[in-house]
Structures are given as C-alpha cells and as structure tokens.
Structure 1
Amino acid sequence: MPYVRSVNVGGPQEVTWLGRPVVTGIFKRPVEGRVRVRRHNLEGDGQADLEKHGGEYKAVYAYAREDLDFWAGELGRDLSDSAMGENLTTVGLDVTGAVIGERWRIGSALLEVVQPRRPCFKLGLRLGDPDFPQRFGPAARPGAYLRVLEEGELGAGDEIVVEHRPAHGVTVGLVAYAYFHDKSLAPRVLAAPELAPGARQTWERFRRHAG
C-alpha cells in the first residue's frame, strides 16, 4: 500500500542566492506527529510568493521518494526527504502517473491532484545548483500539486488510498511532457476538467496559438 514517508513544512526565510537576498519557503523539514490539513496549506507551512505558490490549487505538493532517488543518481549525491520542497514525500505511489482529478485519502484528509509543478529558480536554490530547473522540467517527473477537498489531519506512515481516478487518463507526467516537449498536445491536456483554473488558461492559450 502506498504511504506517506514524511510530512514536511517550513515558513519563509531570507537566504542569499547568487549574490542577492531571496525570500523563500522552499526549505521544508520533516515533522513528527499529526499535521492539520487546511484549505490552503498544511499547518506550519508557508510560502513567500503567494502569486506563484500556495493557494487553493497548490495547497499541498507531493513528490515520490522514488523520483528523489532518480535525481540522486543523476546528481551523484544523496537527497533527503523534502529535497524538492515537497510537503509529502510518498513511497509506492506513481506520482508522475497520477491522473489529474485523482483523489487521495490520507489520514482524515481528502486531496485532489490538480496540476504538475513547473520549476522556478528557487528549486535550483534549494539544491545549490542554478542549472537544475532546466533539467527538472524536461525530465517530466514533476510531482503533483493537490487541492484540499476535505480538511483533516495526516502524518508520516499514513496510507495513501486512491478513492477516485478519472477515466480521461491525463496524468501529471503527460501535462509536464506536453509543456516542455510538445504543446500541440494542448487538446489532450484540456480533456481533464479537473485541471487547475490557472493551468487551464495557459493551455487554452497554447491551443489557440496552435490553431
């Protein structure tokens, strides 16, 4: 059974990156015990740039331990849980293959997959590698942003029960691949009605331009 290996939270902090100060919430740490899942985030978690991070459609970010291990091999160094700034480090769940609109029951919370991550420079900051975002996106191992359908509590060790999987088959991996490699797939991406509204607007533009 898939499960949550760690629950990771952290608030905004100022760091120096490439010679300038940056405020970021990407430095998260595993926490013990039960964590409250709220509509826009996990209790104790925070984001610095609320235009690009957080909110209803980026309330929780999940990344697979298996994908962290892939990147550890690519980078030639160990990567700890939370290395991608994720809130939930999962085991035994194909996060890349998760379908947009898929619903996960974790503890007493119900979460819905709504979009993949598109990397910004802060991912390079987190890993100490300014070129890493350019590698992360095209690899199509984006992790999944989740919205909260039912608030509750969860913790490390909780099983992840997939309660619903839409039949359209549009996965977070497909959306990420389409964005970085083939935007002509826009009609396929838009077949997922559960796609986050902001992402849907972007893909509607891609479809119009392709036409």
Structure 2
Amino acid sequence: MTGRVVAVNLGVVTEAEWAGDASGRSGIDKRPTDGAVLFRADGVAGDFIGERAHHGGPDQAVYAYAEEDAGWWATELGRDLRPGSFGENLTTYAVDVTGAVIGEQWQVGSALLQVTKPRTPCTTFAGYWGVPDLIKRFTARALPGAYLRVLREGEVGPGDPVQVVERPAHGVTIGEVFRALSLEPDLLPRLLDAPDLPGPIREKALRRLTPR
C-alpha cells in the first residue's frame, strides 16, 4: 500500500517561556499549508526554526509523524491534535514511520528523502503541549517520528504519494534506534550496523558501548 501526505506544515514564530531558544522563540507550532512547498537540503522553505543548535540542518531537514500515531495521542490526552501538532513538517498516512529503516529512501512529490534518525522529545515539546510529564510518556510510547535528509530537492504537497524506493538490508529501524538510546540499551550494538545513521548518534552509541 502506498502512503500519502496528509499535510505539509510550516513553523510560525511563537514566543513563550518554554521556548528552548535563548531569544524565547520557537518554531514548534507548525501549521498546514494549502499547497506544495519546496523541500530543500537545508530544510523546508518557509519553515521557522528556533534553537538551531538542536534543530534543523541536513540530517534534520524534514520531520515526519504518522497520522495514525497522532490519533493515539489524541485519544490518550482527550484533545484534538491537528497536523503539525508534533512539530512535524510532514504528516503521513499509511506510512510505517517507526518501522522505517535508517537510510530508507522515500519518493514524496518531486523530492527524494532519506530516513536518518528518530526525534528526541524535549522540554520545548512538553511546554508547547502543556503536559509536564510528556517526555517520560512520549519515551515510553516509543513512537518518535522520523527525521529525513533531502537527497533531491523538490516540491511536496498534501495528497502526494509516499513511496519507499530503497530500503537498506541492515534493517535497523527508527524505533530500534529510539529504544536503544532510551529504553533498551541492549540494542545499542545494532546501531553500528546502520551506515547512514548520523555521526553524533553513532558516536553516542560507541561511547556507551565502550567499557570504562
């Protein structure tokens, strides 16, 4: 089954005490667009990103979250969660985001994207939702969404198909990486099998695996 884009979402400037940036501004509040948007190697055109030390960049050019996973959270919290509520640029349907393999390539619109790593929940996310224990709950649920590189720039819009065009044989998934770094450290050796995993995560895995 081919997945599809539910929404493409762009960040608006939000000033709040919980914003992680020193300026007190955050781009986690992302709103759906009406049409197609250019996905570039350095991010999504028109998207505001705060605290660039931890957000944005080639390995985090696009953040995707599945509509199905968002639905679970909507039920859990008893609130409506529109596309963009997770700070995602790309809301998907019928795409196994948690089961996506590191290095997997997606054809979306005219862009070619590559899965890089899971999202790590932060205090800005918890503050935006107004859920103090969100980091703990989000980690326990282990449906983190996925960051992607843009291998070929192109336009992406609502309704575009999401097709997996290449999947590495190593099989290391977004979910495994997330659990290895949080809930299941026994999975850490698996991370070294994924050559497309960003360097900082590989280095973190190696540090944790090195006897002291």
TM-score range, shorter chain: over 0.9
- Superposition map of 1:129-144 within 5 A: 129-144=131-146
Give, in whole Å, the separation in 1 of the partners of 2:137 and 2:197. 24
> Which residue of structure 1 aligns with residue 110 of structure 2?
108
Q: Which runs of 4+ in 1 moved over 3 A?
A: none
1:142, distance to aligned residue in structure 2 (A): 0.5
Gaps of 5+ in 2: none
1:21, distance to aligned residue in structure 2 (A): 7.8
> Which residue of structure 2 aligns with residue 92 of structure 1?
94
1:137, distance to aligned residue in structure 2 (A): 1.6
Give, in whole Å, the separation in 2 of the partners of 1:37 and 1:6. 13
Equivalent in 100, 125, 130 of residue 127 of structure 2: 125
1:16, distance to aligned residue in structure 2 (A): 3.3
- Superposition map of 1:161-176 within 5 A: 161-176=163-178
TM-score (norm 2): 0.94
> Which residue of structure 1 aligns with residue 190 of structure 2?
188
Amino-acid identity (%): 48
- Superposition map of 1:14-25 within 5 A: 14-17=15-18, 22-25=24-27
Give, in whole Å, the separation in 2 of the partners of 1:97 and 1:198. 21
Give, in whole Å, the separation in 2 of the partners of 1:158 and 1:147. 18
> Which residue of structure 1 aligns with residue 9 of structure 2?
8
Write the letter of the residue equivalent to 2:191: V
Write the letter of the residue equivalent to 1:15: A
How many residues were matched structurally? 209
> Which residue of structure 1 aligns with residue 180 of structure 2?
178
1:9, distance to aligned residue in structure 2 (A): 0.4
Q: Deviations over 1:35-66 (max 9, x none)?
A: 01111111110211111100010000000000
Does the CA contact (< 8 Å) of 2:13 and 2:27 recur in 1? Answer: yes
Q: Deviations over 1:147-204 (max 9, x none)?
A: 1100111101000010000111100011111122121321111111110122112111
Give, in whole Å, the separation in 2 of the partners of 1:21 and 1:36. 27
Task: Indicate the SS of the match to 1:70.
Answer: helix
Does the CA contact (< 8 Å) of 1:138 and 1:177 recur in 2? Answer: no
Give, in whole Å, the separation in 2 of the partners of 1:23 and 1:188. 37
> Which residue of structure 2 aligns with residue 153 of structure 1?
155
Are residues 95 and 14 of structure 1, via their aligned partners in 2, closer, same or farther at CA, if it must alter by over 3 Å? same
The Cα RMSD (Å) is 1.7
> Which residue of structure 1 aligns with residue 35 of structure 2?
33
